[in-house]
Chains A and B, each alone.
Chain A
Amino acid sequence: MRYAETGFNLEVDLTRGNIECVATDPKLVPLHLGGLGTNARHFWDRVPPETEPYAPENHLVFGTGLLCGTPAPGSNRTIVSAISPQTRLFGYAMMGGFFGPELKHAGYDKIVLRGRSPEWVYLHIHDGKVELRDAKHFVGLGTLESAELIRQELRDPKAQVSSIGLAGENRVFFASIEQGRSSASRLGLGGVMGDKRLKAIAVRGTGDIQIAHPPEYMAICKEVLEFIEKRNRNPIPGVMPILAGLGSPQEMAIHDEKWHTENFAWGNARHRRKGFWTEEIQKSWTGTMERMRTRLLSCHNCPMKCGAAISVDTRLCSYMMKCFSKLTYTMAAMSDLDFGLRIAQKATEHGVDAFSAPQTMAFALELYEAGILKPTDFPGMPLDNEGAFYWLLDRIVRREGIGDVLADGTYWAAKRIGNGAEAYAHNNIKKTEQLPLKLGMLNPIYFLMYCTGEKANITQIEGNFPQAPFATREEREAFIRDWPQVPDERFKQWFVEWELRGEKSIPSYPTIDATCEIVNWQEKMHYIDDATGLCAGLSSFPLKPPYHLHNLPALISAGAGLELDEAGLDRVTRRNRNLVRCLNIQRGLRRADERPPDDHWKNRFPELEQKLLDEYYKFKGWNQDGVPTRETLLELGLDYVYEDFVRRGILEGG
């Protein structure tokens, strides 16, 4: 009997239309758990580093987390992986919603897609019945639109559908895979799906998911649920509202956007607008939200309702939104919330990442203003910002004219455009991800996260440690009083002593050692979630979450029938984390790439920065080029990685 997982993967060869149900090796669970861990292992074993993102040899894997679909609140993540067209590295994006649990109930832990279909198809899974069906009649349709038509065609209103829109079909580098309540948006995995000519996956499952030790498992689930209820009644004082509660930042419920609108940069991540948030704007934006938001929505088995159904217009089908995508279009276009929510409806149907798409459009408009792109590049584009954004979105998702260049995102587009365009793809983490935020003083914690995050994306490694010190010692002492989530007591001390100004403030405090530990803790939590499929919103992302290092080992053990203690979970997590890094090392990632966005902070400290990296690499067991050392690899049982690295000359043998 397999517990928590189903023990089967679906392997679909799209070139030949062949479908197989493959029993997985049970030994992989104690080694990698599931989700990102086993996805990474799959790519290591099966996808060689020479593989091009848009080649039949690339795989697209929908991997459920190990605990996905169990009664643990928030256990609903699907980790989608492929070689990313945007970074050309191992890419992974998570989606919540309902797809993962449904897939598990259908009897599969992962769907592995390879090859390229000769014609457009969609995959239909209903328990043991799996088929590829003609999707020619859905080509060109929106993500939600086609999902709905597929449900009708299958006469199965309960089917969960993941689909791509025009952007994915046309292999846009930031195309998303949309799934109603959620989406796998980052790193262009929708483009890989389009390259495979797979329009959608519809899944319906009615099978059981087994729990190894039910009483122990349920006792923790119950504690978690009670904790959530209590925590919802007691938001954390002294931090801004979006950081006070659990879940994804509650952007759909909260109206006060003073912090985002005045601290984040507008346009092409350029303009800070102090004093923007007036009473008038507050009133108008609140009105917009209340008019368009029809309901707050949760993912599978989670009470947090971080998402919302948005109806921009009764004639159009509504869509679901969450988190900061609320403001990305608004701010990039220097417009208002009404515009932001309206264009997001179109963008969701086209299936683009709500972070990269608006940034790319704002970047294009700046190049236009600077004369680097010419009016002839924008034939017929309306002159107002809003009109221009709609026009650009349409060109990008169709890859028409300048849209074809922009569809590769700011980094690659700037390279293609040349003529000084590179300077406008600025403030980017590891080349491709443009940050809509600029700050004064280097923050050592964020410095390391920007540099070393494997995903080139910040929100998925930050989390449990406060982003900034609290003003007074009393506040800090109050905060640490009930903070059992920390790995050990030292973390409390570091926080208590962390001052806004003076000796113990950024950039020199937290100290280098403490910074390494803090970054490691936050990252570790994410790697656990990405393997278990628990939502970061209840675990790695917010302050004081219900899931933490001290209850997760028992939960995972009781659910999956493992014997994991804290040290054991640490080992599994380090193994997964190093394996993901090694996939990227194989594909060329090195220290030289691990740089923060050049103009993110005004005040930089080259010496300190190098020291931080030196020490963090040591802490992680990596050499000074960022490559995991022989000792690290062997200690984690990654001998096969070590051997490969020796063969490739990445590490020395012997």
Chain B
Amino acid sequence: MSKKPRKKLVKRIKIDVDKCNGCRACEVICSSFHAVPRYSSANPARSRIRVIRDPLADIYVPVYAGEYAAAQCAGRNEYTIDGKRYEECSFCRASCPSRPLFKEADSGLPLKCDMCESDPTLEQPKCVEWCLAQALVYEEREEEVVGEEEAAPDEVELGLEALAAKHGWQTLLDTVTRLTKRG
């Protein structure tokens, strides 16, 4: 395997909670963009960004949906910043059993921010475009990475699923175990 440094495009959304005015436009447009057909409905409950708000405590934290977690954390944290107490889980991106965030309202399936990946590629993610307050700012930069080429997880998943469909999960697992031991 090659260990040569390569360029990798890193996409980043910078979140400035001080600039958030609590409007939820990001939630509206994300849900609308991901509706099928596109823009055919709006529903913040399906959004992949949620603004955790507690207006009377002046708390506004836009949080992006991250990985699915099958179980909730063993311990939780509570932050106090500038005298404001942020409830446990305020900054967490997980779609996890402890809270209703980042799950499809009807099916309960987890939601995850995909940075609005689409064809053709958007100039910037939708939530960023609609946040005129600039609480969300999009940035792309190239980073040098050393190490193995990461396959896009979706492709691997797709491939595995296809194999499993053909041979069954057990056969697949057995084979993977055998091959990795050999390797």
Contacts and interface: CB of A to CB of B under 8 A. Distances in A.
B42 A214 contact: no
Interface in A116-148: 144, 148
Interface stretch (A48-56, A204-212, A394-402): A204-212
A206 B58 CA distance: 24
B55 A180 contact: yes
B40 A210 contact: yes
A105 B43 contact: yes
B23 A317 contact: no
A263 B75 CA distance: 60
B22 A298 contact: yes
Given A300-B23, A303-B25, A214 B43 contact: no
Contact of A301 (B28, B37, B38, B54): B28
Contact of B39 (A98, A206, A218, A232): A218
Contact of A206 (B25, B42, B105, B132): B105
A228 interface: yes
Contact of B58 (A70, A295, A303): A295
B43 A206 contact: yes
A294 B22 CA distance: 13
Contact of B38 (A181, A214, A225, A302): A214
A305 B32 contact: no
A361 interface: no
A297 B105 CA distance: 27
Contacts of A69: 42
A71 B28 CA distance: 6
B23 A301 contact: yes
Interface string A312-340: 00000110100000000000000000000
B132 A211 contact: no
B43 A207 contact: yes
Nearest to A209: B42
A299 interface: yes
Q: On chain B, which size bracket covers the interface?
A: 20 to 34
B158 to A, nearest CB: 28
A209 B32 CA distance: 9
A69 B24 CA distance: 11
Given A144-B56, A298-B21, A229 B132 contact: yes
A215 B105 CA distance: 25
Interface in A89-121: 98, 105
Nearest to A208: B41
A297 B21 contact: yes
A309 interface: yes
Contacts of B32: 71, 211, 218
Given A206-B105, A211-B42, A320-B55, A71 B132 contact: no
A70 B37 contact: no
Contacts of A209: 41-43
A296 interface: yes
A305 B19 CA distance: 11
Contact of B23 (A214, A215, A217, A303): A303
Nearest to B20: A295
Interface in A191-218: 205-211, 214-215, 217-218
A317 B55 CA distance: 10
B115 interface: no
Interface in B1-35: 21-25, 28-29, 32, 35
Counting from the closest, the 4 A-B pairs by CB-CB distance are: A214-B39, A298-B23, A206-B45, A303-B132
